[in-house]
Copies of this chain bind each other. A is one copy, B any other.
Amino acid sequence: MSWNPEVIGEYRCFGGVQGYYRHASRAVGLPMQYSLYRPPGTPRGLLLCLAGLTCSEETFPIKAGAQRLASALGLALLSPDTSPRGTNIPGQADDWGFGVAAGFYLDATQAPWAPHWRMESHVMQELLPAVQAQLGGLPTSILGHSMGGHGALTLAQRHPGSFQSLSVIAPISALSQCPWGQKALPAYLGADEAQWAAHDASALMRAQSAPPFPAGILMDQGEADQFLSDQLKPELFEAACAAVGQPLTLRRHAGYGHGYYFVSTVIDDHLRHHAAALG
């Protein structure tokens, strides 16, 4: 794989560099953009940060406020985009919960999405290995918010050994049991519900023979989150963890909503969680 990303922009930030890049993605078959924060000095690790519906590779770097502590802890931060861009699939942008900016970090198998909507391959087979190699083979952890929380919970379980630690903020906890997933899963993967379960964070956890993160998973959830009861359902993932003995620290925060005002409030705790695991 050749890796010569085009520099869109690089900005000094907290002694490091916040960069935006574009590359020709073989997995997706289109140009894809991503962001990478490099702290000053040699990083101790890389944190893959997955954003949610309607977001892009810019959202986490602009809104999460993570660079300050990432700089101090020596963490590099990598954020992919949330779907392919630049296709002309009819209806692709009619619903902010499906299509553009709603890739759900999986590989679609169904027309018309299949040739391009391959975010799992893009992130896991292409972007992450390339950036790991660029940074000298760093140990890596994964974090996600909302749809990106679904992505973190599923990619970490589908790719055992790829991540030292896992944390999520207001994640979609069981994609096959919420309206967003009930629209996206049949459209991207077809009618076979076994395929859906392979991308459902709680179903994957229930199928574990041993806790995949014995040191614990960190999850933060706002109690005033408008999506809490119908889309996110943290209780389903909590129950799945309990069923297999996976330690989970689920913190519920009174008054907090779904967006980045909440993410920024808890992000430092997540960076510390990962820094501890990354050594």
Q: A89: which B residues are within 8 A, CB to CB?
A: none
B261 touches A222 (CB 8 A): no
A264 touches B12 (CB 8 A): no
| CA distance in complex: A264, B63 (Å) | 11
Q: Convert A37-69 into 0s and 1s, putting 1 for each residue whose CB lies closer than 8 angstroms to a CB of B.
A: 000000000000000000000000011010110
Q: Which A residues between 159 and 211 are near B, CB-CB below 8 angstroms?
A: none
**Residue of B whose beta carbon sits closest to that of A13:** B261
B65 touches A259 (CB 8 A): no
Q: A62: which B residues are within 8 A, CB to CB?
A: 62-63, 260
**Residue of B whose beta carbon sits closest to that of A223:** B12
A255 touches B12 (CB 8 A): yes
| CA distance in complex: A141, B256 (Å) | 29
**Min CB distance, A18 to chain B, in Å?**
5
**Min CB distance, A68 to chain B, in Å?**
7
| CA distance in complex: A260, B14 (Å) | 11
Verify if A249 is at the interface (C-beta below 8 Å from B): no
If A68-B264, A264-B68 touch, does A259 touch B11 (CB 8 Å cutoff)? yes
| CA distance in complex: A265, B65 (Å) | 10
Verify if A245 is at the interface (C-beta below 8 Å from B): no
Q: Could you list 6 A-B pairs, sorted by A, with CB under 8 Å?
A: A11-B259, A13-B261, A13-B265, A14-B264, A15-B265, A65-B264
